[in-house]
Amino acid sequence: MEKKYKKLEQTWRWYGPNDPVSLQDVKQAGATGIVTALHHIPHGEIWPLEDILERKAIIESSGLTWSVVESVPVHEAIKTRRADADKYIENYKVSLKNLAQCGIKIVCYNFMPVLDWTRTQLDLEMADGSKALYFNWIDLAVFDIYILKRPRADTDYPKSVLERAAAKFSTLNQQQLDDLRINVLMGIPNEKEIELETLRNSISEYEKIGFNGLRENLVYFLSAIADVCEHEGIKMTIHPDDPPYPILGLPRIASTIDDFNYILQNVDKPFNGVCFCTGSLGAGVDNNALQIFNVVKERVYFAHLRNVTKDEDGSFYEADHLGGDVNMYEIMKALSEENALRDKSIPFRPDHGHQMLDDLAKQSNPGYSAIGRLRGLAELRGLEVGVTGNY
């Protein structure tokens, strides 16, 4: 008997009313679902019911659906399990209840210390003139050793990287050093400026917590919200570390197949799920994204599809959605087969995109210009049809 496929839910990340990409743009791109958050609410505070309803009404008035929350941020007090952690967990639970009351029940989050994501360049020029996000180990070492001046930072890099970082640092002027600092710190959520001393203090705090301590804090958080999630029908989806390895002395606990096995086995309940991000996982030199998917697929409730190309150092740039090191054909095939088993379609979004065409002259959130993502969504939609035969 021929296998019956249904389509994945096609979604689009939207940063709210101030996003330069409008909901009308999203509709024209072909997406039907919106992935968004209440970015105006400070981390750790309760998301008011009226704010959620207001955002939902704006989305639905455009003929779209609020499909996924990305993200309800986990406060640093929870990640570090400070004395006031339980207060922020209680706030988080109220936000989840309010979202569920509005019918929004897939929540993406991360458990990355301090930085939500890290790139060293936001405008790497590609051969066709478009621009991509780039993570370069040499540039990170320059930031870490010569700008941040983290104690013992040089012990975290191989000799070849240290030598090239020293050589590059000697060629950089103050403006270039400032640009590098801004790019790296761009991943600190809701921060326009942060004192380097504050960052060093946070790094020192996580050094004491360590890899195992951060793992335990994640399990504590998930266990604390489990009853609310189960009662309200919430699916939590942890986003992989981006990039998926320790940087700046900060531990990473959602980077490898072993990490995800630990997370799912230590809170072994259906609400505890994964946001499967091919770009983040694909950046890991030892990661096989398809292998990881096959291990966690029953708990994948949301997917980010993008691609990366790595070099011999493990530096990477964000490639075309159907280019790069991740075999997107095999990923789409596996994702579609899992989706066929579900009562409700798995939402995915084209993650990031090159800045290209008219968008080269526009200001947008890094990785989130319209045309590059439109191209990515179109390619992924076509790939899905090719894999499933489902028009």
Catalytic residue (choose from 277, 301, 317, 359)? 277
Catalytic residue (choose from 242, 352, 354, 359)? 352
CA distance linking residue 264 with residue 299, whole number of Å: 8
Question: From the CB of residue 160, how many other CB atoms can be counted at a distance below 10 Å?
Answer: 12
Instruction: Tell me if residue 239 is catalytic.
Output: yes
Catalytic residue (choose from 239, 317, 321, 359)? 239
Edge-first strand order for the sheet with 121-125 is 121-125, 131-135, 316-319, 307-310
CA distance linking residue 240 with residue 238, whole number of Å: 6
Beta bridge partners of 304: 277, 349
Catalytic residue (choose from 88, 92, 317, 368)? 368
Instruction: Tell me if residue 354 is catalytic.
Output: no
Catalytic residue (choose from 320, 351, 354, 359)? 351
Q: CB burial class (10 A; 0-12, 13-18, 19+) of residue 220?
A: middle
Catalytic residue (choose from 88, 229, 241, 304)? 304
Instruction: Tell me if residue 304 is catalytic.
Output: yes
CA distance linking residue 386 with residue 199, whole number of Å: 47
Instruction: Tell me if residue 352 is catalytic.
Output: yes
Residues with catalytic annotation?
239, 277, 304, 351-352, 368
